[in-house]
């Protein structure tokens, strides 16, 4: 099993009032799955994605990624773990403006300490794969939204992650470009990548092979189990 | 793991993104460093000139100079005293100071024209004794210096300074030539080596151009160049003390002898080059402290300016920091990146400041005709301080960047 969580909880302190973003989530995801998490804003889907991406530690419960106890890792270990296991794709692309396309893709490999020649070669290969082999010297500001998101996906893939996480990857794109991006995710999934994607668009959710619906910090429906956890 | 070269490359990229802002933020450092470098070059130039002048007198030497009295002091001293130094004083000192290895030479300095063939030149005619060459470490280039025999016989011989010889004889041989000094004829017995002179704008001592000296036996000078007020008046007594530990004793004894002879009239002064050297060093030290304080203030102000810019930089790049953290940068990677950015800004400011300081120092010596000299220590200190300012004032922004919560940073 790639992902196993139990009773995962997240509490944020907003001023004096605690906000319960997750109130006990148990989920398992196997290698090669394409999971789409849906729900209204504030339902906790982004928080769950951040936790699964090892960006922060849960307030309670447990999370094992490839058998590793994530909540026990310290900040440096979490950083390295993210670097080795996880690729992130964001709604706003989040490319680094002072770097050109290929430098953006290389960045995670720099943090991994991959030597210059090897990381350049790998980045070029991935850019070719996402269809941007001819734009490697472009700055992010010179790219269209769809191209920028492809670069972001290439960056996520550069480290050969076991888990590809995407938070509303089509949220800033027109529908035609969004379709292209979703087809890219589908392709990657068919080639073996495990994808977990957060969206509130029904159309996007249709690309998933498994959908999880969240409300008020818990899972209310999981198409894999078919069970409704509504209470 | 991330290596240092890649981190530095990252930092450079971060900086060139805002070239103008980066440059403006370094202005404080640039001008601070430039001011220090140029002031230090002026100070260093003055120090070297002072030392060179003092060395010319000889550090193991004591000079006793006449101090002409005027007005009330002269009246008070009466007609018999306050005559300044005389040849007798030199003899009395010689007898009155029983310290071993002390050499004396009287100096009677007159200005006169020297003529040979069709050429002539103005010279300082120095009546002195054979010891003078040893006292000052001046050496002859040709012939010989004055001898005891010249002195005993009141011979009309002379030794020419390098410059005056050049003027009268060119490259030709001057030894045994006959020439006129003032009204009399003299035979050239020697020519001195040329001496390097420092003629900065900030002289500690007024030194005559010794390359225009013409040395004649003291007795001859007293006889041929009467000064009017006293037939035995001389201008200076040069004393060399072989062992510098005896200098102060010799000064004390000399003062006793002269005060007795002059009835306490202060018509002479005793100059101790060693002491002048110490004074010059002390002045230099004070000067350096003042410069150091100015430098410190301007660098702190510059550093705060840079810190301010870096803080703005960090908050502007919050999202970038979030992305870097998400793809695996550790806190220390972020910290190092921003710290190196600040240090690079400061070092760049330091380099520009040093170059600007050189240029300013060059302009000062060009237009103010002051001696300037650049000390490597000053340059290294400026560079080191710039780096230190970068580290100190970069630490806070870098920590703030590193401590950002990745989730928060990405949400913005």
Q: Are residues B169 and B237 in the same domain?
A: yes
For residue B199, the tally of other CB atoms under 10 A from its CB is 12
Specify the pLDDT at position B4.
80
CB B23 within 8 A of CB B342: no
**For the residues B224-244, what does the mean pLDDT come to?**
83
**Would you say residue B20 lies in a domain?**
yes
Q: Which residues contact A22 (CB under 8 A, 6 or more apart)?
A: A8, A9, A10, A44, A47, A48, A51, A58, A217, A218
Task: Decide if pLDDT at A15 tops 80.
Answer: yes
Specify the pLDDT at position B268.
85
Q: Are residues B212 and B80 in the same domain?
A: yes
Task: Decide if pLDDT at A231 tops 50.
Answer: no
Of the residues B266, B301, B319, the one at which a domain ends: B266
In B, which residues are within 8 Å of A84 by CB distance? Answer: 328
Higher local confidence (pLDDT), A132 or B372: A132
Q: Is the pTM of this model over 0.80?
A: no
Q: Are residues B38 and B173 in the same domain?
A: no
**Would you say residue B59 lies in a domain?**
no
**For the residues B360-373, what does the mean pLDDT come to?**
81
CB B213 within 8 A of CB B126: yes
A88 touches chain B (CB under 8 A): yes
Task: Decide if pLDDT at B203 tops 60.
Answer: no
| Residue A34, strand partner residues | A195
In B, which residues are within 8 Å of A55 by CB distance? Answer: 325-326, 406-407, 410
Burial bucket for residue A22 (CB in 10 Å: 0-12, 13-18, 19+) = buried
For residue B94, the tally of other CB atoms under 10 A from its CB is 16
Q: Are residues B236 and B291 in the same domain?
A: no
| Residue A165, strand partner residues | A88, A196
Task: Decide if pLDDT at B381 tops 70.
Answer: yes
Q: Are residues B307 and B403 in the same domain?
A: yes
Q: A30 falls in which pLDDT band (50, 70, 90)?
A: very high
- Cα atoms in the Cβ-side hemisphere of radius 13 Å centred on B155: 17
pLDDT digits (tens, 9 = 90+) for B138-173: 888 889 999 999 988 888 999 999 889 988 888 888
Of the residues B244, B266, B288, the one at which a domain ends: B266
Q: Are residues B29 and B82 in the same domain?
A: no
Range of the domain at B242: 68-266
Chain A: give the shortest CA distance to residue B336, in Å. Answer: 13
A108 touches chain B (CB under 8 A): yes
Q: Do A97 and B17 touch (CB under 8 A)?
A: yes
ipTM of the complex model: 0.93
User: Would you state the structure tokens that stand for residue A97, as one six-digit string?
Assistant: 């403006």
**Would you say residue B61 lies in a domain?**
no
Please give the residue of chain B at the shortest CA–CA distance from A84.
B328
Q: Are residues B20 and B164 in the same domain?
A: no
Q: Which residues contact A67 (CB under 8 A, 6 or more apart)?
A: none
Q: B80 falls in which pLDDT band (50, 70, 90)?
A: low
In A, which residues are within 8 Å of B320 by CB distance? Answer: 94, 96-97
pLDDT digits (tens, 9 = 90+) for B99-146: 778 888 999 988 889 998 888 888 999 999 998 888 888 888 889 999
Specify the pLDDT at position A226.
67
Q: Are residues B235 and B283 in the same domain?
A: no
Which of A79, A88, A99 shows the shortest C-beta gap to B329? A79
pLDDT digits (tens, 9 = 90+) for B46-57: 777 777 777 777
pLDDT digits (tens, 9 = 90+) for A142-164: 999 999 999 999 999 999 999 99
Chain A: give the shortest CA distance to residue B402, in Å. Answer: 11
- CA dist B62 and B237 (Å) reads 8
Q: Are residues B91 and B192 in the same domain?
A: yes
**For the residues B176-198, what does the mean pLDDT come to?**
87
**Would you say residue B163 lies in a domain?**
yes
**For the residues B301-318, what does the mean pLDDT come to?**
91
Task: Decide if pLDDT at A77 tops 70.
Answer: yes
Please give the residue of chain A at the shortest CA–CA distance from B3.
A113
Specify the pLDDT at position A41.
87
Chain A interface, best mutation among B13, B318, B327, by max A CB count within 10 A = B327
Mean pLDDT of chain A: 92
**For the residues B281-301, what does the mean pLDDT come to?**
83
Specify the pLDDT at position B202.
47
**Would you say residue B363 lies in a domain?**
yes
Of the residues B215, B235, B266, the one at which a domain ends: B266
**Would you say residue B76 lies in a domain?**
yes
**For the residues B205-212, what does the mean pLDDT come to?**
75
Q: Do B330 and A76 touch (CB under 8 A)?
A: yes
**For the residues B263-271, what does the mean pLDDT come to?**
82
Q: A62 falls in which pLDDT band (50, 70, 90)?
A: very high
Q: Do A55 and B325 touch (CB under 8 A)?
A: yes
pLDDT digits (tens, 9 = 90+) for A117-127: 999 999 999 99
**For the residues B280-309, what does the mean pLDDT come to?**
85
A155 touches chain B (CB under 8 A): yes
**Would you say residue B63 lies in a domain?**
no
Q: Do B407 and A56 touch (CB under 8 A)?
A: yes
**Would you say residue B271 lies in a domain?**
no
Cα B81 to Cα A59, B255, B260, distances in angstroms: 102, 16, 11
Q: Are residues B399 and B298 in the same domain?
A: yes
Select, from the ranges A202-206, B46-50, B293-297, the one with the highest average predicted confidence (pLDDT): A202-206
Chain A: give the shortest CA distance to residue B34, in Å. Answer: 31
User: In chain B, how many domains are there?
Assistant: 2
**For the residues A52-63, what does the mean pLDDT come to?**
93
Specify the pLDDT at position A74.
94
What percent of chain B stands above pLDDT 90?
A: 25
Chain B: give the shortest CA distance to residue A225, in Å. Answer: 30
What percent of chain A stands above pLDDT 70?
A: 97
Q: Are residues B92 and B209 in the same domain?
A: yes
B21-40 core/surface letters (b: 16 or more CB in 10 A; e: else): ebeebbebbbbbbbbbbbbb
Chain B: give the shortest CA distance to residue A39, in Å. Answer: 18
Q: Are residues B99 and B233 in the same domain?
A: yes
């Amino acid at each position: 099993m790639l992902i196993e969580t139990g009773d995962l909880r997240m509490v944020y302190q907003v001023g004096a009032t605690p906000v319960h973003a997750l109130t006990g989530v148990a989920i398992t995801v196997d290698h090669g799955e394409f999971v789409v998490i849906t729900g209204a804003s504030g339902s906790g889907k982004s928080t769950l994605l951040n936790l699964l991406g090892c960006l922060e530690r849960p307030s309670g419960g447990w999370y094992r990624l490839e058998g590793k106890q994530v909540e026990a890792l310290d900040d440096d270990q979490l950083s390295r773990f993210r670097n080795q296991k996880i690729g992130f794709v964001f709604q706003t692309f989040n490319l680094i403006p002072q770097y050109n396309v290929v430098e953006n893709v290389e960045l995670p490999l720099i943090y991994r300490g991959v030597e210059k020649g090897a990381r350049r070669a790998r980045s070029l290969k991935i850019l070719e794969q996402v269809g941007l082999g001819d734009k490697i010297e472009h700055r992010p500001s010179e790219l269209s939204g769809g191209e920028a998101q492809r670069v972001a996906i290439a960056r996520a893939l550069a480290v050969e992650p076991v888990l590809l996480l995407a938070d509303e990857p089509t949220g800033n794109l027109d529908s035609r470009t969004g379709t292209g991006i979703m087809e890219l995710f589908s392709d990657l999934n068919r080639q073996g990548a495990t994808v977990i994607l957060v969206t509130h668009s029904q159309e996007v959710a249709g690309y998933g092979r498994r959908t999880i619906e969240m409300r008020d910090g818990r899972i209310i429906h999981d198409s894999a189990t078919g069970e409704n956890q509504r209470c | 793991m991330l290596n240092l070269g890649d981190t530095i490359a990252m930092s450079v990229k971060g900086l060139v993104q805002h070239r103008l802002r980066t440059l403006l933020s370094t202005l404080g450092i640039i001008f601070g460093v430039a001011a220090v470098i140029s002031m230090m070059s002026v100070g260093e130039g003055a120090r070297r000139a002072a030392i060179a002048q003092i060395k010319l007198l000889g550090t193991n030497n004591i000079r006793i100079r006449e101090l002409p009295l005027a007005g009330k002091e002269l009246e008070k001293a009466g007609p018999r005293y306050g005559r300044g130094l005389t040849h007798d004083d030199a003899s009395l000192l010689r007898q009155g100071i029983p310290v071993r290895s002390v050499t004396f030479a009287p100096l009677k300095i007159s200005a006169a024209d020297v003529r040979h063939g069709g050429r002539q030149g103005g010279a300082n005619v120095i009546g002195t004794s054979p010891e003078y060459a040893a006292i000052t470490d001046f050496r002859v280039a040709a012939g010989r210096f004055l001898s005891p025999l010249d002195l005993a016989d009141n011979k009309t011989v002379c030794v020419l300074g390098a410059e005056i010889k050049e003027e009268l004889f060119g490259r030709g041989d001057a030894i045994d030539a006959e020439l006129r000094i003032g009204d009399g004829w003299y035979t050239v017995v020697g020519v001195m080596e040329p001496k390097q002179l420092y003629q900065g704008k900030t002289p500690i001592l007024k030194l005559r151009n010794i390359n225009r000296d013409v040395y004649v036996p003291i007795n001859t000078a007293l006889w041929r160049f009467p000064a009017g007020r006293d037939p035995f008046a001389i201008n200076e007594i040069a004393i060399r003390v072989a062992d510098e530990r005896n200098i102060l004793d010799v000064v004390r004894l000399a003062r006793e002898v002269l005060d007795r002879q002059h009835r306490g009239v202060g018509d002479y002064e005793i100059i101790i080059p060693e002491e002048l050297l110490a004074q010059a060093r002390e002045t230099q030290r004070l000067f350096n402290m003042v410069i150091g304080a100015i430098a410190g203030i301007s660098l702190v102000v510059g550093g705060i300016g840079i810190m301010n810019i870096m803080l703005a930089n960090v908050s502007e790049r919050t999202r970038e920091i979030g992305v870097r953290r998400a793809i695996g940068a550790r806190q220390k990677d972020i910290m190092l990146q921003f710290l190196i950015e600040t240090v690079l800004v400061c070092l760049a400011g330091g380099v520009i400041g040093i170059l600007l300081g050189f240029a300013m120092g060059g302009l000062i010596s060009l237009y103010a005709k002051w001696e300037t000299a650049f000390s490597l220590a000053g340059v290294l200190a400026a560079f080191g301080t710039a780096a230190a300012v970068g580290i100190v004032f970069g630490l806070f922004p870098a920590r703030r960047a590193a401590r950002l919560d990745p989730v928060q940073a990405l949400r913005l």
